[in-house]
Amino acid sequence: MRRNQDGRFGREGVSGWVYVLHFNRPYRHACHYVGWSEDLFRRLDAHAEGHGGRLMAVIKAAGIGFRITAVFPGTRELERRIKRQHGGNKVCPLCKARAR
């Protein structure tokens, strides 16, 4: 591990996969989950079992399914940029198609 720009240890700059999961129905205000992983398939398996993110555990318990709608090569910084902009629906092809 190396230090981030802010001096903390982390995995900044490590290339992996940024992904968008579209929920079959909204959970309160949430319709998407945006995540990052070096091992995409392992991470998606964990999400399918309700692990790997609090929101994913909650939607699993609520009986809500999801689809993988977008995958981009990138770093955690890209994931954070999308999350800061509340951009799940902006990069989700299903939501873009419905908006037309």
SS3 per residue for the chain: CEECCCCCEECCCCCEEEEEEEEEEEECCEEEEEEEECCHHHHHHHHHCCCCCHHHHHHHHCCCCEEEEEEEEECHHHHHHHHHCCCHHHHCHHHHHHHC
Q: Residue 62's domain spans which residues? A: 2-99
State pLDDT tens for residues 40-62: 999 999 999 999 889 999 999 99
Low-confidence ranges of the chain (pLDDT < 50): 1-3, 6-9
- Predicted structure pTM score: 0.82
Supply the pLDDT for residue 11: 58
Residues 98 and 89 sit within 8 Å (Cβ to Cβ): no
Supply the pLDDT for residue 82: 92
Supply the pLDDT for residue 38: 95
Count of structural domains within the chain: 1
